[in-house]
Structure 1
Amino acid sequence: MTASEIVELRRVLGQLRQCVGSLRSRYGDVASVQRLANDVERMDIDATELLDLDSTPRQREAPRVEREVVVVPDTPYDPKLWHDADDEGLGGYRHT
């Protein structure tokens, strides 16, 4: 971000904060005003994180994550496994 973009972002966030303060004075600390205040705070935190990203060198590659491969056999399950189980997908119980 350029210096002018940073200044503009901070200015707009300050205006938003003032508007939410005016709403709080008018309507009190109702849930919708609290949510707006939280949103402005979140935007301020996100803006700060972006500024921090601009000041630190970026990592070129994401770290590799090793993933375990689980092999699932395609052989049929033992029918005893399903004995007395509900057959919900077919509309009721199935008695064998």
Structure 2
Amino acid sequence: MTSSEIVALRRALGQLRQCVGGLRARYGDVAAVQRLANDVERMDIDATELVDLDRTPRQREAPRVEREVVVVPDTPYDPEFWHDADDEGLGGYRSHRT
């Protein structure tokens, strides 16, 4: 971010903070006003983090790791696979024994 962008962002956040203060004076400390105040605070924190990122040297990206793809077949399982398994669905315990 350039210094002019930082100044513009800080000015906009200050204006938002004033607007939220006006809303709080008009409507009180209702949930909607609290959320707006929290949003402005979060944006201020995020802006500070961006400024800090510009001040610190950039680290190289971590190397990408190839991930193994596991193919799960869509064919039905052998019924013996579920032998003696509990049914955890609706209706409680039900044995699969025949």
TM-score by length of 1: 0.72
In the alignment, residue 85 of structure 1 is paired with which amino acid? D
Q: Report the structure, 1 or 2, having the larger helix content.
A: 1
* 2:90 corresponds to 1:86: no
Change (3 A) 1:30 1:55: same
In the TM superposition, residue 55 of structure 1 has moved relative to its aligned partner by 0.3
In structure 2, what is the Cα distance between the partners aligned to 1:54 and 1:28? 38
What is the match of residue 41 of structure 1? 41
In structure 1, what is the Cα distance between the partners aligned to 2:23 and 2:83? 61
**Partner deviation per Cα, 1:18-37 (whole Å, 9 max, x = no partner):** 00000000000000100000
In structure 2, what is the Cα distance between the partners aligned to 1:22 and 1:44? 18
In structure 2, what is the Cα distance between the partners aligned to 1:95 and 1:20? 65
TM-score by length of 2: 0.70
Change (3 A) 1:81 1:55: same
Q: Structure 1 stretches (4+) deviating beyond 4 angstroms? A: none
CA RMSD of aligned residues (A): 3.2
What is the match of residue 24 of structure 1? 24
In the alignment, residue 6 of structure 1 is paired with which amino acid? I
- The SS at the match of 1:18 is helix
**Partner deviation per Cα, 1:53-96 (whole Å, 9 max, x = no partner):** 0000010122788xxx9xxxxxx88x4863162285xxxx5541
What is the match of residue 7 of structure 1? 7
Unaligned ranges ≥5, structure 1: 70-75
What is the identity percentage for the equivalent residue pairs of Structure 1 and Structure 2?
72
Unaligned ranges ≥5, structure 2: 69-76
In the alignment, residue 36 of structure 1 is paired with which amino acid? L
